A and B are shown apart, each in its own frame.
Chain A
């Protein structure tokens, strides 16, 4: 509408500069790239595909749950569907999405580097991810497992469904995660441009750094765990088999030692994105830069101490229940620090209500409610009632979808001009954001009520009196799906026909906007010397007037 016409008048013909997109247009130049930006774009395409695949599984589940009795497909298929939904969404989408797609693209730009520390390792991480993903999809096509993405023993060691390729796929994807984590940590340590000390590193980089620490420390334990299950299935090693003296709960200890920090792998990058967007769209300095930076590290560290809260009713000892219950509360402190800082940043800022800001609003609302229900679940006495009900499902979807996917969509809309040099239709952006936020609420708030009223999760059939809320939830899921489809449509249109934009359409002070949009392959003609703090929107006049870049 108006915005694009003005742009077309101002910019006229597409700019003539070379960019990473035009530097080599053959397929091989993409498949054999060392350029972190191209690797990031390839990851983006892959994770978006798996987001839609996982969404299809989710919609299938919700369709079945329209009716309390058997409908559409049988119970075994239903079990497979929720397993595949979980595995696809978590391992194939959520873990790599923001770090490997946006982190890869933006992190070197934000620290004034020409690439990540190990470019070939970066490319390898993409192929390893693809290999694991292909294996997992192959397992799905051939029937797939019915254990849930949590693979609890003893069912996972004895189920006759095809588990081995799925386990192997997850194992391989773990390597990709570790490679990315190592690459990012070394990049931040050794490739910062002159002037970028640790306290001048942008907040998204802090988020990615903390995420990478978790990826490096936690993922090997997942690798070992799936390996042990596979060995027990294939060779009968019996580590978790009570008949041999084993302990099935030990599996849960191993599994959650990774999987709880894994949720912080998913959420910390989203929080980093929100930190960037809040500063940009409030045109105001972060309320507390150090608080946000150190709380990222705090979440990464404390997140490792809390895994036992998934085992409260599994047979874990009362002593450990108490310890983990208390430790789980601490993570909430760091998250609260961040939320207060974001709100403090927006307060008295010059708010620019663009599409990324709409996602910020959704993120904040969902993070607060998801986080508070998390603290409630961490209370052992309450978890006895809520464990394995839809209350837990709603809680983690509030964080996983409500917070992380809002962060992903915010990143997508914020950095779309940077990555592709074009802008999308702002009106449709806001429409889709509204649909998603509304649809999300309609999907998952009924699930809190269902869970509190006792509906168990992963059940194929349910008592009739739960049907109304289930129908509401499915209606919301459909709305959510429409929102995603609309985003996909207008972004693809923008990729091809969107108006070209200037270098810094958001007038952001982020360091990545110092390069052209899209950037050239070598990122910077000259390595910049940064003399300003990140996200610094002050003028040097004391009146607090905010100027353009």
Chain B
């Protein structure tokens, strides 16, 4: 009935059994479970954060279907598609990094994390090219919209949402890159092992979330 501590009751907690074990947890396994649950809770807050933007998208897409479809056609579809592949592959490499740490292959893991960072940079680079193209075409949000190709009510809304959603997503890419860089450094310096790799796992979870959000952004903003 009770899924409580693994230690017998009344037992003094023994400090120093494992250098990673915090004093208030009864076992390392429980501590790792707690870290994972905490991370999933944090990911759900990120999902709800983007939910508001998806709601705005849904409302304005419903209101201005022609403008949204026309504007999506003028977006840089090649860039969006390439970025999707880039992010999916970076998810693969970060999953592989964890796999390699669990298998005890530290250097392969660091290499995978480095490749992930490279893909993340590539994503940002492609995004930068895209944004530059949009600035030149005056496909800008709200009152700055001057694009001659699509002059419909609601085009301004599309671009406002485009920049908000990809901008917030891009911010999360930058945060994820920073976290991954720190984790890569720590992996290279032996902080993680097959026995204890929570840090990489949590960073990986965050990165997968960044990929997940893009999986939804891509068709909604570029394709339909």
Contact = CB atoms under 8 A, between A and B. Distances in A.
Q: Do A and B bind each other?
A: yes
Interface of A: 113-119, 178, 181-183, 185-186, 189-200, 216-221, 223-225, 228, 231-232, 235-239, 241, 244-247, 250, 253-254, 257, 522, 525-529
B12 A526 contact: yes
A232 B60 CA distance: 16
Contacts of A241: 142
A117 B10 CA distance: 20
B2 A200 contact: yes
Residue of A113, A185, A191, A195 with highest tally of chain B CB at under 10 A:
A191
Contacts of B10: 526-529
Nearest to B38: A186
Contact of A245 (B26, B52, B157): B157
A239 B165 CA distance: 12
B48 A118 contact: no
A118 B56 contact: no
Given A182-B42, A221-B49, A231-B164, A245 B64 contact: yes
A525 B9 CA distance: 12
Given A193-B5, A194-B5, A244 B49 contact: no
Contacts of B25: 190-191
A195 B142 CA distance: 59
Interface residues of B, number: 51
Interface in B34-48: 34, 37-38, 41-42, 44-46, 48
B53 A236 contact: no
A244 B4 contact: no
Given A196-B4, A526-B10, A238 B51 contact: no
B67 to A, nearest CB: 8
Given A217-B48, A527-B9, A245 B156 contact: yes
B179 to A, nearest CB: 15
B56 A239 contact: yes
B2 A192 contact: yes
Contacts of A195: 2, 4, 9
B128 interface: no
Contacts of A197: 1-4
B23 A114 contact: yes
Contact of B38 (A182, A225, A246): A182
A193 B24 contact: no
B59 A247 contact: yes
Contact of B156 (A118, A238, A522): A238
A527 B5 contact: yes
Contacts of B45: 178, 182, 216-217, 219-220
Nearest to A246: B157
9 contacts: A190-B33, A194-B8, A216-B41, A217-B45, A228-B164, A236-B141, A236-B143, A239-B161, A527-B5
A190 B157 contact: no
Contact of A236 (B11, B52, B144): B144
B74 interface: no
B141 A190 contact: no
Contacts, number: 155
A223 B49 contact: yes
Given A196-B2, A224-B49, A253-B55, A114 B24 contact: yes
A245 B63 contact: yes
B12 A245 contact: no
A439 B145 CA distance: 56
Contact of B154 (A245, A257, A526): A245
Nearest to B157: A245
The 7 closest A-B pairs by CB, nearest first: A529-B9, A238-B142, A197-B2, A220-B49, A224-B52, A114-B24, A115-B24
Contact of B142 (A198, A236, A526): A236
Given A113-B24, A197-B3, A245-B156, A254 B52 contact: yes
Contacts of A198: 2
Interface string B1-34: 1111101111111000000001111100011011
B87 to A, nearest CB: 22
Nearest to A224: B52
A257 B164 CA distance: 20
Contacts of A529: 9-10
A452 B26 CA distance: 58
B174 to A, nearest CB: 16
B157 A239 contact: yes
B215 interface: no
B124 interface: no
B219 interface: no
Contacts of B31: 190
A39 B45 CA distance: 24
A220 B48 contact: yes
Contacts of A113: 24
A117 B35 CA distance: 8
B198 interface: no
Contacts of A118: 34, 38
B49 A237 contact: no
A192 B4 contact: yes
A20 B64 CA distance: 61
Contacts of B22: 119
A56 B172 CA distance: 41
B105 to A, nearest CB: 30
Contacts of A181: 41
